[in-house]
Structure 1
Amino acid sequence: MARSLLDSFDCSEDRLKKVVANALGGADDGELFLEYREGEALVLDDGRLKTASFNTDQGFGLRAVAGEATGYAHSSDLSEASLKRASEAVAAVKHGYSGKLAAAPQGTNRRLYGDDNPIAAPGFEAKARLLQEIDAWLRARDPRVRQVTASLTASWQHVEILRADGHLARDIRPLVRFNVSVVVGDGDRQESGSYGMGGRKSFGDFLAEDSWQFAAGEALRQALVNLDARPAPAGTFDIVLASGWPGVMLHEAVGHGLEGDFNRKKTSAFAGLMGQQVAAKGVTVVDDGTMAERRGSLTIDDEGTPSARNILIEDGKLVGYMQDRQNARLMGMKPTGNGRRESYAHEPMPRMTNTYMTAGDKTPEEIIASVKKGVYAVSFGGGQVDITSGKFVFGCTEAYMIEDGKVTHPIKGAMLIGNGPDAMHRVSMVGNDMKLDTGIGMCGKAGQGVPVGVGQPHLRMDRMTVGGTQA
């Protein structure tokens, strides 16, 4: 058991609690957020170890919330003097304000992941050798392999959240990720493929030989598929989305629009639609931070609220938002365990954890067979979304044509274009094969990045706009 971060200060715990209580007195809410983090990254690129880094970071963030206003100060100096300066800064938000401090979140004894630091094993030299082995294995598999990039990253985060009433919440969060990308070429043409996996666990599951070979093989397979791909057509098509990672479109086009802050400020395309039909019947969307060892899971969020399984859309109707404490209070709702921050230097805000669409009753084969002419999107790369309008654009990294109910040739350059709320009404078939992504998701919002999970079953979406290179 790691020692308490409160012990890192140059004063007693009682003294700390007194400073925090004074800083937050008269506010509606707030906390002292303490963090210690270790991180390691190894990246092998084109046969050479390009990056090998290890870092530690620690600090605190002090927050006072008064109405819609927030005072926030942070420092890497864990001293009473630094905490007092921070308390003076955040106190400005309470000037002329008289609030009643909200009750602390309910505690939890639930454990979703272990405390062990994943950086420790295997050792640095063993990781470096493995990356070299992956490079050699891929080059031996196919003479068309021109470049291999493989990486191993891990972090170990210890957080403590102290409230004005002395309530202390604590969480230790391991996180690992393995990723490999391959560039293949034939003459002047080059294409790429990638595969990754991760979670809140040790490296053991991912570094077993059959596991990394599967991942490397999938990256190579995708690259070779793209090497044979024809230019994507442009126009309006029925679309089939594969299960798993394509749920990133749901995350971007719908998930962000269901975060509490955007709806309180009425800047979301879903604002004011609670209880209304915002998707086709049969569409149920859930955000669940309680899944063991998943990348987006949290025992408690960064305000100390236990994570939960929150239903957002049920059978097409909007039934919930994801909330932190401030937006929940201002909207007359309950916090949902979605108050997240990148680090002690950032304020918490409503963020997703593991967001997915639940399974329906159609088989993937039935869904594909129902399409006369369309596009089968197996994997997505980058995408953009406008929260206010709901408009999105996503690039496919692996996609195929569907002709007369059969998957035919691969296509490249396909872009899926649409509007989140409108796209959800275009879902006409939901598969019975829901699965989550392999543990690679990272979500950005307001300059902060946090790990997330996405997922869905196979889906059919009718008459979607596809941008391509062939008119």
Structure 2
Amino acid sequence: MSDTDFRPFDTMLDEAQALRVLQDATAGADDGEIFLERRVSESLLLDDQRVKSASYNAAEGFGLRAVHGEVTGYAHSTHMTMDALRRAAQTARLAVGGGGGMLADAPSPTNQRRYTDADPISGAAFSVKLDLLREIDDFLRASDARVVQVSVSMAASLQQVEILRPEGQRLRDTRPMSRLNISVIVEQDGRRESGSAGGGGRAGLDGVMARDVWQAMAREALRIALVNLRAEPAPAGVMDVVLGPGWPGILLHEAIGHGLEGDFNRKGSSAFAGLMGKQIASKGVTVLDDGTLPDRRGSITIDDEGTPGARNVLIQDGVLVGYMQDRQNARLMGVAPTGNGRRESYAHAPMPRMTNTYMQGGDATPDEILAGLKDGIYAVGFGGGQVDITNGKFVFSCTEAYRVKDGKVGAPVKGATLIGDGATALTKIRAIGNDMALDPGMGTCGKAGQWVPVGVGQPTLMIGGLTVGGSAM
């Protein structure tokens, strides 16, 4: 499947008529578009040596939007017909009211591509994929007698989008995605613990199906489970914390990233609202959101409004220098869109969303940072968390963490949670490692009921004075 397979204005809708309908709907508006989408997806789950689920889905539809000031009119349909388009236009038109707006400039086109347009689903036969899941299960059970349960899932999708704007501009993008996840449960002396690993990106399944790749994931899941098997109860109290590189960047994403999205700042509901140009983080802290990284899970050639994906600096050497913007919020704030207008599907209007959000590395080695931790926690992996965007307060649970005293990494701890707020945590970063890493490609971000794929990353960091919640075992 390729770009040529999804051209609704060539095969399903009359482009000239659709353009006239869109122009009528956006007359007097500030912005608008028709967003058309086709998505196919496949997923397989092997759980405890049985095929628990196998699915294949295909969906297509369009959304029509008219924007006037802060008001958005949006209607969508699964029917790719002119009648459905006209009805959607009538609904969206209600937002424009008396009009009086001036249509915003169209996005600048790009000839760059950040990923392949090949269909990852067709890269291997269904039977081959299923055999691989069973092979992973067998591999883990043969690796350690303490393995009592294995769960392996594989997913792939291809999203094709086409955007028609009121001035007649047409933009297209084809977006592949693949992912492999492995979870394992081990048991010893009546105690059970789990570990998981996975990865993927905007590429075919051949990457995660390669033997060296999936074996590394399987070993990592087993390693984490065995570490947790000997973990002690986590301590509680206010202490310094060292965060490992890569996936722990999810804390940065949640506690800081959402607060730097344009809509929250325009409305004044973010903890970072009104602080542009101010020192909000320790010196040396530079945070970016970058949708241009090749083949990464959060990357986008163009966003869901047609703006090319971009490398946006948000915090430079501790100073707030930028927000992530879609077209509407950028216009209302008097700045340029940043390529962060994203939506879950044709059934949703776009909003400012992160792509790949990460902190750049510093000069310290990880060993130097750990040696400077006198009494605290070394957090390597994270699970779920909760964040309040208005004040940046967060609670995150650790899936792998260790007790550290006098610079020596000691026993693993179980049940540790990190509690704090993003704005304060930024100012308490005491050391930045030279080992910046991106996550393996497994992030999905939720906002206002919409879910989109994202990437995170960071180097090893020391943050002073976080509250650690412990556990009793």
TM-score by length of 2: 0.98
Q: Distance in 2 between matches of 1:100 and 1:402?
A: 60
Q: Distance in 1 between matches of 2:196 and 2:461?
A: 23
Q: Distance in 2 between matches of 1:440 and 1:165?
A: 38
Deviations 1:304-333 (A, max 9, x none): 000110000111111000000000000001
Q: Distance in 1 between matches of 2:187 and 2:10?
A: 54
For the 8 Å contact 2:233–2:414, the answer to whether it is kept is yes
Q: Does 1:135 align with 2:124?
A: no
Deviations 1:262-281 (A, max 9, x none): 00000000000111111111
From 147, 167, 192, the counterpart of 1:165 = 167
Q: 1:365-380 residue pairs with structure 2 within 5 A?
A: 365-380=367-382
Give the letter for the 1:253 counterpart.
Answer: A
Q: Distance in 2 between matches of 1:110 and 1:469?
A: 50
Q: 1:143-158 residue pairs with structure 2 within 5 A?
A: 143-158=145-160
Deviations 1:363-410 (A, max 9, x none): 000000011111000000000000001100000000001111111110
User: Residues 152, 112 of structure 1: CA spacing in aligned structure 2 closer, same or farther, 3 A cutoff?
Assistant: same
SS of corresponding position for 2:441: coil
From 93, 115, 126, the counterpart of 2:95 = 93
Q: Distance in 2 between matches of 1:357 and 1:12?
A: 46
From 274, 298, 311, the counterpart of 1:309 = 311
2:292 aligns to what? 290
2:59 aligns to what? 57
Q: Distance in 2 between matches of 1:254 and 1:422?
A: 10
Give the letter for the 1:451 counterpart.
Answer: P
Q: 1:247-266 residue pairs with structure 2 within 5 A?
A: 247-266=249-268
Give the letter for the 1:123 counterpart.
Answer: A
**How much does 1:424 deviate?**
0.7
Q: Distance in 1 between matches of 2:27 and 2:409?
A: 64
For the 8 Å contact 1:24–1:91, the answer to whether it is kept is yes
Q: 1:146-225 residue pairs with structure 2 within 5 A?
A: 146-225=148-227
Give the letter for the 2:99 counterpart.
Answer: Y
From 351, 354, 358, the counterpart of 2:353 = 351
From 273, 280, 283, the counterpart of 2:282 = 280
Give the letter for the 2:134 counterpart.
Answer: Q
For the 8 Å contact 1:9–1:79, the answer to whether it is kept is no
Q: Does 1:17 align with 2:19?
A: yes
SS of corresponding position for 2:207: helix
From 387, 399, 402, the counterpart of 1:397 = 399
1:47 aligns to what? 49
**How much does 1:171 deviate?**
0.3
Q: Distance in 2 between matches of 1:381 and 1:13?
A: 47
Q: Tell me how large the CA RMSD over aligned residues is.
A: 1.1
Give the letter for the 2:28 counterpart.
Answer: G
Q: 1:294-443 residue pairs with structure 2 within 5 A?
A: 294-443=296-445
Deviations 1:288-347 (A, max 9, x none): 000000000000000000011000011111100000000000000110000000000001
Q: Distance in 1 between matches of 2:36 and 2:138?
A: 43
**How much does 1:15 deviate?**
1.4
Give the letter for the 1:265 counterpart.
Answer: K
SS of corresponding position for 1:130: helix
Any stretches of 5+ residues in structure 1 without a counterpart?
none
Q: Distance in 2 between matches of 1:170 and 1:269?
A: 36
Q: Distance in 1 between matches of 2:96 and 2:118?
A: 40
For the 8 Å contact 1:36–1:56, the answer to whether it is kept is yes
**How much does 1:10 deviate?**
4.3
SS of corresponding position for 1:120: helix
Give the letter for the 2:127 counterpart.
Answer: E
Q: Distance in 1 between matches of 2:77 and 2:354?
A: 26
1:34 aligns to what? 36
**How much does 1:21 deviate?**
1.5
Q: Distance in 2 between matches of 1:13 and 1:168?
A: 10
For the 8 Å contact 2:6–2:160, the answer to whether it is kept is no
Q: How many residues in Structure 1 have an aligned counterpart in Structure 2?
A: 471
SS of corresponding position for 2:5: coil
Q: Distance in 2 between matches of 1:267 and 1:461?
A: 25
**How much does 1:146 deviate?**
1.1
Q: Distance in 2 between matches of 1:344 and 1:76?
A: 9
Runs ≥4 in structure 1, deviation > 3 angstroms? 7-11
Q: Distance in 1 between matches of 2:45 and 2:37?
A: 26
The worse-fitting range, judged by mean Cα deviation, of 16-25 and 453-462 is 16-25
**How much does 1:187 deviate?**
2.8
Give the letter for the 2:233 counterpart.
Answer: P
Q: Distance in 1 between matches of 2:176 and 2:382?
A: 27
SS of corresponding position for 1:169: strand
**How much does 1:470 deviate?**
5.4
**How much does 1:178 deviate?**
0.4
Give the letter for the 1:444 counterpart.
Answer: G
The worse-fitting range, judged by mean Cα deviation, of 157-166 and 19-28 is 19-28
Q: Distance in 2 between matches of 1:385 and 1:187?
A: 37
SS of corresponding position for 1:94: coil
Give the letter for the 2:46 counterpart.
Answer: L
**How much does 1:362 deviate?**
0.2
Q: Distance in 2 between matches of 1:159 and 1:180?
A: 31
Give the letter for the 2:284 counterpart.
Answer: G
Any stretches of 5+ residues in structure 2 without a counterpart?
none
Q: Distance in 2 between matches of 1:233 and 1:94?
A: 57
**How much does 1:189 deviate?**
1.2
Deviations 1:3-40 (A, max 9, x none): 34324764422112111111111110010000000000
User: Residues 10, 282 of structure 1: CA spacing in aligned structure 2 closer, same or farther, 3 A cutoff?
Assistant: closer
2:107 aligns to what? 105
TM-score by length of 1: 0.99
